[in-house]
Amino acid sequence: MGRAPCCDKANVKKGPWSPEEDAKLKDYIEANGTGGNWIALPPKIGLKRCGKSCRLRWLNYLRPNIKHGGFSEEEDNIICSLYMSIGSRWSIIAAQLPGRTDNDIKNYWNTRLKKKLLGKQRKEQQARRASCLTLKQEMKIESENYMLSGMVSQVPYWPQLPAVVPLTGTNQDPLDVSFAQLDQLYENSSNMLSSASSISPINSTCSQVTNSTHFNVSEAAGPNDMFQGFDAFPAALSELIYSNNQQILDGLESFYGTDNMVDGSSTVTSSAESSSWGDINSLGYPQIFSGFEASQQCMPQVPTFDEPNYFGPP
């Protein structure tokens, strides 16, 4: 037995909303609220719309204090950082950006931000190829940069996982890290994410951001404190936002490794691409890729998740 439809689709209008419909919905909700039942709303105000459609229209467009477009550099950084940390949990990301909707952020990421990052990455890769750096030279530079920059204190914090997560196909080329694999990682941290419903929005001013605690997951952590560290993410995020974080964007771009991402192949990569693996480490991801040690031999050595300085200099 299938589910009953949420509305009578035959008698429901679809497509763009007219100004009259907007006005009806807005006026009613402002005067009476939603009544906690979106399904019942349209008939009450004479709208031939699905309740879901009304809800979406209100949340994404009619609701007060909605901002459209004009994303700031700060917002870009927050979105990137959170995407790297928690993946495509747009509602959670939106909760950190007052006035932004999940739909808006999702669209912005898919249409602009991702491309922006990829474009920059591509330029850098071309520059590297042109400079004829050897792999060894690159490794040395990246390693030195890593050690000197104290970057780990600025990167998005990856919550401590209950255990080292074995990825399927450990013989896989480590450079062929795709979003699918990231999804696998996200899956393993889903318990942590599920508690994120208690997230409070970032306040809009710099000082407030720095001082506020955005993630209240510690309250939900329980005795085993499985969320240990995740609570510290806001500090890392604040630092990320208000310090010179070009390195973060660089890392993100390298992480997306255009060549790997675009065609999804696992071909042996050139020295230029190989840097992406080191950058993944430098982004602060835990030792979840430990099945790839053999392949990592040619990569810069970075502190492992268990080492004391993993999340920053002592």
Partner DNA sequence: AAGTTCATCAACCGCTAGTTT
Partner DNA sequence: GAAACTAGCGGTTGATGAACT
* Distance of alpha carbon 48 from alpha carbon 195, whole angstroms: 36
- 286 within 8 A of 303, measured Cβ to Cβ: no
Question: Which residue blocks in 111-245 are alpha helix, DSSP H?
Answer: 114-131, 135-149, 179-188, 190-194, 206-211, 217-221, 233-242
Applying CB under 7 A, does 184 fall inside the site for DNA?
Answer: no
* Distance of alpha carbon 20 from alpha carbon 264, whole angstroms: 47
Mark 17-36 with x for binding to DNA (rule: CB under 7 A) and - for no binding. x----------------x-x
Applying CB under 7 A, does 223 fall inside the site for DNA?
Answer: no
Residues 56-75, interacting with DNA (CB under 7 A):
56-57, 60-61, 68-69
Number of residues that bind DNA (CB under 7 A): 44
How many Cβ atoms sit within 10 Å of the Cβ of residue 138?
18
Strand (E) positions, 221-264? Answer: none
Applying CB under 7 A, does 214 fall inside the site for DNA?
Answer: no
Which lies closer to DNA via its Cβ, residue 40 or residue 127? 40
Q: Which stretch binds DNA (CB under 7 A): 47-55, 226-234, 264-272, 282-290?
A: 47-55
- For the bound state, the minimum distance from the C-beta of residue 128 to DNA, rounded and expressed in Å, comes to 24
- For the bound state, the minimum distance from the C-beta of residue 70 to DNA, rounded and expressed in Å, comes to 9
* Distance of alpha carbon 162 from alpha carbon 273, whole angstroms: 31
Q: Which stretch binds DNA (CB under 7 A): 3-11, 76-84, 274-282, 297-305?
A: 3-11
Q: Find the binder of DNA among 8, 11, 14, 46 (CB under 7 A).
A: 14
Which lies closer to DNA via its Cβ, residue 54 or residue 237? 54
Applying CB under 7 A, does 314 fall inside the site for DNA?
Answer: no
* Distance of alpha carbon 21 from alpha carbon 27, whole angstroms: 10
Residue type, 234: P
- For the bound state, the minimum distance from the C-beta of residue 306 to DNA, rounded and expressed in Å, comes to 30
Which residue is listed with tokens 């696998």?
184
Applying CB under 7 A, does 88 fall inside the site for DNA?
Answer: yes
Q: Find the binder of DNA among 44, 48, 63, 112 (CB under 7 A).
A: 112
Applying CB under 7 A, does 217 fall inside the site for DNA?
Answer: no
Q: Find the binder of DNA among 106, 120, 122, 128 (CB under 7 A).
A: 106
Applying CB under 7 A, does 308 fall inside the site for DNA?
Answer: no
Burial class (CB in 10 A: 0-12, 13-18, 19+), 261: middle
- For the bound state, the minimum distance from the C-beta of residue 235 to DNA, rounded and expressed in Å, comes to 23
DSSP 288: G
- Residue 44: alpha-carbon gap to chain centroid: 39
Spell out the residues 6+ positions from residue 295 whose beta carbon is closer than 8 angstroms to its own: 173, 174, 175, 277
Three-state secondary structure call for residue 199:
coil
Q: Find the binder of DNA among 26, 45, 74, 103 (CB under 7 A).
A: 103
Q: Taking Cα atoms as reference points, which of 314, 298, 305 lies closest to residue 137?
A: 298
In the complex, which residues of this chain contact DNA (CB under 7 A)? 1, 3-4, 6, 9, 13-17, 34, 36-40, 49-53, 55-57, 60-61, 68-69, 88-92, 102-104, 106-108, 110-112, 115, 194
